[in-house]
Structure 1
Amino acid sequence: MANLPKNILAVLIAFQTMLFCGVLHASVITNGDFSSGLDGWNDASSTGTVGSEGGAAYLQSGSGVSPFSSILVQGDDGSFSFNDALLIAADYEYLTFDLWQISADVDASETGAASFDDSISLIIYDAFDFNYDLYLAPFDVTSVQTSFMVDITSLIGRSVALSFEVSDENDGFNSKFGLDNVAFLKSIVGPVPVSEPSTIALFMVMLVSLVFGNRKFKK
């Protein structure tokens, strides 16, 4: 590219910028909005339950105490073989999702002696090397649906599983959490996501004209 005439090089750079400018865009995680129930997701719960209602998923703790009460997974960590691992494509920098607490009902099987409440967290399991696993602390959720964003740049190019997990503490309650809008995001600068075919055709005409015009000038 260093040997190209300066005017052609300038057009190439401008075209590359035009192609890749845009705002945050989401890649496709299967049924990340739960519009098709739990299709694409897998239940790995212990004493709790997972399900879908009102266009969102829920994870609910069960009776007694369990650190893995309810678990909802998409992808594969290399061992539980639910479905294909999720590949973190190049330039995808974030995982985003919505969480909120739906309810907290009395659990008579618990004494309420715990100093911690039931909680929901996320673990991103790497399919080939557990050293890349991301253990994310329990999220501070309320009754208000709130969006969370997690930096996943350390996992670019790697295959993973997403595991949303509810820990059932001895707090005297069964908690129910909502989950929705799970997606990968990438960040690109500028307002235009993709150039239209007519724009690409115009660029090709400009490039050909510059090439032949440059040759004629040299003669």
Structure 2
Amino acid sequence: MESSKITKACIVLLCLVQSLFFSTAALATLINNGDFSSGLNDWSDASFTGSVTENDGQAILSSGDNTDPFAAVLIQGDDGSFLFDSPIMVDPNVSMLSVDAALLSMLFDPTEQGGSAFSDTLFLAIYDAVDYTFDAVFEIPALGNVAETFLFDMSDWLGRGIAISFELADEDDGFNLSYSVDNVLFTYNNTPVPVPEPESFIMLLVGLTLLARCRKSA
């Protein structure tokens, strides 16, 4: 009977240990307010004809009247002047830049002729603080109103200072588009490091206590 209790306690303890080491991973970040929980703090709005707003913990980039390749611009690491007074330093262990984005709306724009074969497009631009030859621009092909996660390889900027810029290009397609951007962060070595949650530690302690009592009673 007592042996059965000890066996059960060991099984429970093993499950708790597995839960401890395979709990939800936490992604480290060197980007300030990447989840926009503090509104647009730490970000600069360098928009022209469009706009950048915050809604429900997301940054919303919207195109405006007429056309402009930089209709809505949201940037961190620079204020749009390219002076790079406070660049983001990319840790050498960074692997990817992760971004959640979604297409929220498409509204008719009477100020456009609708002659372009291209629609308004959201881009991610990475600007190097020292050498512009490292600059790169990536399209974020968010097509649905449910956020998708997009990953961008950061191997070219390890140990360098950069600015991260989200840029909505307004094309002459006859429409204005709005995109959401959220959870902007760096991942390390492309493998999230498991970080046990406080509840996991508590459960482990309970399991150890249970095992000790079973052994004592045996």
CA distance in 1, matches of 2:190, 2:57: 29
Correspondence 1:198-209 to 2 at 5 A: none
- Contact residue 121 and residue 139 of structure 2 kept, 8 A: no
Once superposed, which parts of structure 1, at least 4 consecutive aligned residues long, lie more than 4 Å away? 188-194
CA change 1:175–1:84 in 2 (3 A) is: same
CA change 1:43–1:79 in 2 (3 A) is: closer
One-letter code aligned to 1:48: G
Q: Are residue 72 (structure 1) and residue 74 (structure 2) matched?
A: yes
Identity %: 39
Partner of 1:100: 102
CA distance in 2, matches of 1:183, 1:91: 13
CA distance in 2, matches of 1:190, 1:30: 19
Q: Are residue 44 (structure 1) and residue 41 (structure 2) matched?
A: no
Alpha-carbon deviations, 1:20-58, whole Å to 9, x = none? xxx673223110000110000000111000010011000
CA distance in 2, matches of 1:173, 1:190: 39
One-letter code aligned to 2:76: Q
CA distance in 1, matches of 2:76, 2:91: 16
Partner of 1:154: 156
- Contact residue 101 and residue 177 of structure 1 kept, 8 A: yes
Aligned pairs, number:
173
Correspondence 1:171-182 to 2 at 5 A: 171-182=173-184
Alpha-carbon deviations, 1:65-97, whole Å to 9, x = none? 111100000003895347510000011010001
Partner of 1:9: none
Shift of 1:62: 0.5
Partner of 1:132: 134
Alpha-carbon deviations, 1:113-168, whole Å to 9, x = none? 11011110011000000011111134243222100000001110000000000000
One-letter code aligned to 2:120: D
For structure 1, the residue ranges without an aligned partner over 5 or more in a row are: 1-22, 195-219
Partner of 2:64: 62
One-letter code aligned to 1:100: A
Shift of 1:188: 7.0
CA change 1:167–1:70 in 2 (3 A) is: same
Partner of 1:167: 169
Shift of 1:189: 6.3
CA change 1:111–1:25 in 2 (3 A) is: same
CA distance in 2, matches of 1:161, 1:67: 18
CA distance in 2, matches of 1:180, 1:193: 22
CA change 1:83–1:181 in 2 (3 A) is: farther
CA distance in 1, matches of 2:80, 2:159: 16
SS in 2 for 1:26: coil
Alpha-carbon deviations, 1:146-200, whole Å to 9, x = none? 0000000111000000000000011111111000000011027696559xxxxxx
CA distance in 2, matches of 1:138, 1:192: 28
Q: Are residue 122 (structure 1) and residue 124 (structure 2) matched?
A: yes
Partner of 2:86: 84
Correspondence 1:4-23 to 2 at 5 A: none
CA change 1:131–1:110 in 2 (3 A) is: same
